[in-house]
Structure 1
């Protein structure tokens, strides 16, 4: 369905609401399930923001630079901004910048945002804590995602259980948080420790950082899933984006 047809359908729907033929609630339901655009290799969901409050995010890994460029161009054509592209290389980011796309690239997180809206205000209090310095790339994926979506993020890096005093010295910050993302590899104990100290929700992110018996993050994942601390939920291994996304939603709910 092309842009003109979609516009005509929405206008017709709005006229029906005005004439009393369709209720506002029914119209909203129809708009929430409105069409996507088929590019042949991607189906772009232009109404995800209406349904979920945030537009579609582009997962960059294994997509070609040309595919990512075309998806971004189509989204920009529909008026999208703050377009997040995760797991994207520096080379692909440079290619997109040469295509005259207003792109901000974060090399540590391997995350980019196209047409960032500088007017987005950051609210609430979200903390991201890492077990070690090696976990920072996953932390930054979570932190930058949440910041783009409008959360105020405080970073507490390298506060793992091997030196617990480092974490305990930050208890005032932890106590004021609305939601905390804990990122750790090895045995993944940080989530349980923080979960036992705070009253807010904790999102645990296991990472693939660790020696052989870490099994590329599986041991940390199982430890976090089996935590005896209450109020902890767990995302997949190395899924900083997923943690930042859901933590942002919790943070925003708390500020309403």
Structure 2
């Protein structure tokens, strides 16, 4: 149950649509539900504004299915499942009850069970990549942000090796409320974008590059040492973390 659902419930009690005993029963489900192998944090949406997300890697399809079904039954409209491989997604979809709905995004390795929310952030989140090889991590960020209620603009393959490609999108960059920049190799794109933008830039180093890139470490260090101000950095290949943070920024000041 998130802030909006709790507010809606309290208003229904105030108007007489829902009885006090029924409301108390719904709230009694909190703060967590114990499935034996997992304890679901049903009040995370109420505390943080974003409900619990399921990390799929290392979990069996049966475990993911049980967690997803329990979260949906508790009133969560959409359940985001990250790092979910194609085979596990197929097994999950086959085992879910009809009507729950599951949309799988193979490049992002993300599934969304339930209903994808409409955008309700204060602006657009721009996602820019240095190259096409960064796209899987970029899609993880994009689908995460979309599942959390944001409008996304994708600018793919606009790296510094051909700077004119990026400069052809200055309108989108300057109109953004948050920008996520993903790059491997030397990771220079984040500094360049931050030098053009007046909004927060979230840099994501990717594990793309030749030997001395050290699987993203070179890009990570470059981004941490950005000469442009306003750049924050998440971990290597952490598209989910970037999309989540961008959503939080894009919803600051938005009515709950």
**Does 2:159 match 1:163?**
no
TM-score normalised by L of structure 1:
0.84
Distance in 1 (CA, whole Å) between partners of 2:227 and 2:96 is 51
TM-score normalised by L of structure 2:
0.84
Distance in 2 (CA, whole Å) between partners of 1:72 and 1:199 is 39
Where 1:197 maps in the other structure, the secondary structure is coil
Residue 224 of structure 1 is matched in structure 2 by 223
Residue 58 of structure 2 is matched in structure 1 by 62
Distance in 2 (CA, whole Å) between partners of 1:255 and 1:179 is 15
**Does 2:251 match 1:249?**
no
User: Structure 2: which 5+ runs fail to align?
Assistant: 1-5, 15-26
Residue 126 of structure 2 is matched in structure 1 by 127
Contact 1:178 1:254 in 2 (8 A): no
Runs of 4+ in 1 over 3 A off after TM superposition: none
Contact 2:138 2:182 in 1 (8 A): yes
Residue 200 of structure 1 is matched in structure 2 by 199
Contact 1:205 1:243 in 2 (8 A): yes
Contact 1:109 1:140 in 2 (8 A): yes
User: Structure 1: which 5+ runs fail to align?
Assistant: 1-9, 19-30
1:76 Cα offset (Å):
1.7
Distance in 1 (CA, whole Å) between partners of 2:151 and 2:184 is 25
**Does 2:96 match 1:100?**
yes
**Does 2:75 match 1:76?**
no
Encode CA deviations 1:148-170: one digit per residue, 9 max, x unaligned: 11111100000000000100111
Encode CA deviations 1:92-137: one digit per residue, 9 max, x unaligned: 11111111351100001000000124x5234411100000000001
Tell me the number of residue pairs that the alignment of Structure 1 and Structure 2 aligns: 228
Residue 214 of structure 1 is matched in structure 2 by 213
